[in-house]
Amino acid sequence: MAPSILLAISIGQLPTEPCAHAFSPQEADRIVTFWNQEGRLKSEDLHPTEPFQPVYAPAASVWLHEMYKKRDPGRPLIPTKIPAPRTERDRQWDLAIDRQMAQDFAWATSAAAWMNRGLAESATIGSPTSRTLAALPADLLAVAGEPPPFYEVNRPQRATVVFDGFYGVYSEAVDVPNKYLFYRSACGTATTANPPSESDLRTLVHLAGISTKLVKPILAVAQLEGGFDTVNTYDSGGISLGIIQFASLPSGRGSLVALLQSYRQKNPAEYAANFRKYGVDVAPDGRLTVVDPRTGFELSGSDAVQAVVEDKRLTAVFQRAATLSQNFKSAQLRLFAQAFNPAGISIPVTLGGQSISVPVTKFITSESGMATLMDRLVNRGNLDGLPEIVGRIARDAGVTTVSGLAGLERPIVEAMTYRNNFLAVSALTQPPAYSGPAGDARIAEISGTPVGPANGVASAKGGIGKSGGLGASEPLSVAPFDPTRAGRVAPPAGAAPQASKPADPSPAKAPTPTTPAGPITVAGG
């Protein structure tokens, strides 16, 4: 069976970059035959009675992401926060964007209703008015250009994939918060999974051969990401998998590829049975490569990522391995320990006017402190801002020696807190109380946590505590964090995500960070 060029053209899946030729024509033929057997894939409308829906547009998310980067150069974009306005100009921009979003939602809702009526009545009913652009500030247009529609009409599908002892259900059009900056695909999906128990984690930590001191910090951070078998394909991470959401990134060269390579090296036969058998592999040049079940083409790099996002059979390959294989789970922990463990990082700190390289373990010893820095490494890929924070707190406290830094752990951890306050998790060991001088608001800005109108101090990208170079070629604002934990759909009876109407424009208020449903809990302690 030769690859179908006509079919690839019809579904818009012609390769855009050279394939790796990791699969022989015979292998590709076998893989296509396997995936197209009856019962492997069932696709149906997510909303059968109203199949067309108004959904948040990925292009608008990209526009917002770029607009905020240009509006506040150097200010980190955090997945759980919408940047608050710092000036009257910013407030006017936000109000204008809110008005356009409300207008676009009404337009997309009308268009979806018209299309649904047409399906039901098999008749042409008056077309809704076309999308119009509200009056936007001239300086906003000069900086960011005209925004695309914030909402579009989409026909989301629910796909059921069944093969070799595995059953998975994947729903498209993931429900994300308004103005979410990292939404990239309306046909992507978000699966649900339970974070591992502490006993299971200890077993896997032993299998992975890493320190048991990391068990509770890993478990705490994992609850911000998902279980070993959590798969997300809707955001800027491309394909994100596992306990800390290893990401392919759009290039197909991210930390997920490093995870597959680690698993393949340690368990080659099992890897072949769980991935290559189904048309997924890593090419010799380090790119993800897949056989497209629809066309038989081998797709590599960014093309492979797009194929996994669009074809839920390939999505299921990743989730099946992460569900059934203990060795693949231990590979996740092994790579976590190698790439995202702050205990192996040293930073430059200025003490008494002298710059000294200081291991993180000299001033971070508690489990909550380790979890806080792990959260940074997992989600941003670095510990940028930490040297400035440690130096500032040490200077304010009059500390001039490395040994004296140990007493500053609590304010350092407070300043580095990112998505969750691990200082409030009672099952984690905590740093000692601190009664020294309080830091100023600039500390939070340095650490990448916006604190309002104070002038931010931009930290340079890279350099400090980079996560083993995994995915270093991509922008650090890429953040495969899922803020819609409750909206994930995996079981057949799961609630269908619905597009949420934007709030009516009103005086700007500081945004409320979106966090995973429920408190962070750690067994034991």
Q: Which of 385, 415, 446 is the last residue of a domain?
A: 446
78 torsion bin: left (phi>0), alpha (psi -120 to 50), beta (else): beta
Report pLDDT for 215.
Answer: 84
Tens-digit pLDDT profile for residues 350-408: 999 999 999 999 999 999 999 999 999 988 888 989 999 999 999 999 999 999 999 99
Q: Do residues 127 and 62 share a domain?
A: yes
Q: Do residues 273 and 162 share a domain?
A: yes
DSSP structural state of residue 131: P
Residue 487 lies in a domain: no
Phi, psi of 101 (to 5 degrees): -65, -45
> What's the chain's average pLDDT?
82
Lowest mean pLDDT among 270-279, 328-337, 374-383: 374-383
Tens-digit pLDDT profile for residues 2-47: 555 555 555 566 778 999 999 999 999 999 999 999 999 999 999 9
Q: Pick 297 or 472 by higher pLDDT.
A: 297
Report pLDDT for 123.
Answer: 44
Report pLDDT for 174.
Answer: 96
Q: Which of 446, 477, 502 is the last residue of a domain?
A: 446
Q: Pick 171 or 489 by higher pLDDT.
A: 171
Tens-digit pLDDT profile for residues 203-212: 888 898 888 7
Q: Do residues 96 and 230 share a domain?
A: no
Residue 257 lies in a domain: yes
What is the residue type of 100?
A: Q
Q: Pick 160 or 9 by higher pLDDT.
A: 160
What is the residue type of 453?
A: P
Question: CA-to-CA distance for 227 and 485, rounded, in angstroms?
Answer: 12
Average pLDDT over residues 243-251: 92
Average pLDDT over residues 427-455: 58
Q: Which domain holds residue 416?
A: 342-446
Report pLDDT for 381.
Answer: 82
Residue count (the chain): 525
β-sheet bridge partners, residue 54: 153
Count CB-CB contacts under 10 A for residue 275: 22
Going by pLDDT thresholds of 50, 70 and 90, the confidence category of residue 340 is: confident
Going by pLDDT thresholds of 50, 70 and 90, the confidence category of residue 223 is: confident
Residue 370 lies in a domain: yes
Residue 24 lies in a domain: yes
What is the residue type of 435?
A: S
Report pLDDT for 126.
Answer: 56
| Cβ 125 vs Cβ 112: under 8 Å | no
Q: What is the share, in percent, of the chain residues with pLDDT greater than 70? A: 79
Report pLDDT for 127.
Answer: 58
Report pLDDT for 463.
Answer: 26
Residue 500 lies in a domain: no
Residue 462 lies in a domain: no
Q: Do residues 112 and 249 share a domain?
A: no
Residue 169 lies in a domain: yes
CB within 8 Å of 253: residues ≥ 6 apart: 286, 287, 288, 301, 471, 473
Q: Do residues 393 and 297 share a domain?
A: no
Q: Is the pLDDT reported for residue 92 higher than 90?
A: yes
Tens-digit pLDDT profile for residues 462-519: 223 333 333 333 332 333 333 333 222 222 233 333 334 444 433 333 333 333 333 3
Q: Do residues 332 and 348 share a domain?
A: no
Residue 263 lies in a domain: yes
Token representation of residue 329: 């789970």
Q: Which of 155, 175, 195 is the last residue of a domain?
A: 155
pTM of the model: 0.76
Q: Do residues 280 and 330 share a domain?
A: yes
Number of domains in the chain: 3
β-sheet bridge partners, residue 350: 355
Q: Is the pLDDT reported for residue 333 higher than 60?
A: yes
In the Cβ-directed half-sphere of 5, how many Cα atoms lie within 13 Å?
0
Report pLDDT for 379.
Answer: 81
CB within 8 Å of 178: residues ≥ 6 apart: 56, 101, 500, 502, 503
Question: CA-to-CA distance for 382 and 469, rounded, in angstroms?
Answer: 10
Lowest mean pLDDT among 145-154, 214-223, 470-479: 470-479
Report pLDDT for 197.
Answer: 78
Q: Do residues 169 and 302 share a domain?
A: yes
Q: Which helix (H) or strand (E) holds 163?
A: strand 157-163
Question: CA-to-CA distance for 67 and 86, rounded, in angstroms?
Answer: 14
Going by pLDDT thresholds of 50, 70 and 90, the confidence category of residue 306 is: very high
Phi, psi of 140 (to 5 degrees): -65, -45
Report pLDDT for 205.
Answer: 85
Q: Do residues 335 and 431 share a domain?
A: no
DSSP structural state of residue 308: H
**DSSP strands (E only) in 164-278:** 166-171, 231-232, 240-241, 246-247
Q: Do residues 187 and 139 share a domain?
A: no
Collapsed DSSP state (helix, strand, coil) of residue 152: strand
Q: Do residues 200 and 278 share a domain?
A: yes
Average pLDDT over residues 227-250: 94
What is the residue type of 31?
A: I
Report pLDDT for 41.
Answer: 98
Q: Do residues 198 and 151 share a domain?
A: no
Report pLDDT for 8.
Answer: 54
CB within 8 Å of 455: residues ≥ 6 apart: 442, 445
CB within 8 Å of 196: residues ≥ 6 apart: 204, 219, 222, 227, 228, 243, 329
